[in-house]
Structure 1
Amino acid sequence: MDKFIGLVGTNSSHSTNRQLLQFMQKHFADQATIELVEIKGLPMFNKPDPDHKQIPAAAQVIVDKINAADGVIISTPEYDHSVPAALMNALQWLSYGVHPFVDKPVMITGASYGALGSSRAQAHLRQILDSPELKARIMPSSEFLLGHSLAGFSPDGELLDREQCNQLEGLFKDFLTFVKITKQLNHAHESNAKEAANFSWEDK
Structure 2
Amino acid sequence: MTVVLALVGSLRADSTNRKIAELAQRLAPEGTEVRIAEGLGEVPFYNEDIDGADAPAAAERLREQVAAADALLLVTPEYNGGLPAVLKNAIDWASRPYGQGSITGKPAAALGAAFGQFGGVWAHQDSLKSVKIAGAKPHEEPAGSFKVTEWTGSGHPEEQADVVEAVTRTLETLTQQARETAAA
Give your verdict on TM over 0.5: yes
- Structure 1: gaps of 5 or more residues: 186-204
**Residue in 1 that maps onto 2:103:** 101
Displacement, 1:182?
Answer: 2.3
Question: What is the CA–CA distance in structure 2 between the aligned matches of 1:70 and 1:153, rounded to whole Å?
Answer: 35
Deviations 1:147-173 (A, max 9, x none): 116946758x55222233223322322
Change in CA separation of 1:55 and 1:31 when aligned onto 2, cut-off 3 Å:
same
The match for 1:116 among 112, 115, 118 is 118
Residue 83 of structure 1 pairs with residue 83 of structure 2: yes
Question: What is the CA–CA distance in structure 2 between the aligned matches of 1:62 and 1:6, rounded to whole Å?
Answer: 12
**Residue in 1 that maps onto 2:48:** 47
Deviations 1:84-105 (A, max 9, x none): 1122222222223360011011
CA RMSD of aligned residues (A): 2.5
Report the TM-score, using the length of structure 1 for normalisation: 0.77
Question: What is the CA–CA distance in structure 1 between the aligned matches of 2:165 and 2:75, rounded to whole Å?
Answer: 18
Q: Secondary structure at the match of 2:159?
A: coil
Aligned counterparts, 1:21-170, within 5 A: 21-28=21-28, 30-38=30-38, 39-48=40-49, 52=52, 54-97=54-97, 99-131=101-133, 134-148=134-148, 151=151, 154=154, 157-170=156-169
> How many residue pairs align between the two structures?
181
Choose between structure 1 and 2 for higher RCO, CA contacts under 8 A separated by at least 6 residues.
2
**Residue in 1 that maps onto 2:16:** 16
Displacement, 1:111?
Answer: 1.2
Q: Where do 4+ consecutive residues of structure 1 move more than 6 Å? A: none
Report the AA paired with residue 43 of structure 2.
L
Question: What is the CA–CA distance in structure 2 between the aligned matches of 1:33 and 1:42, rounded to whole Å?
Answer: 24
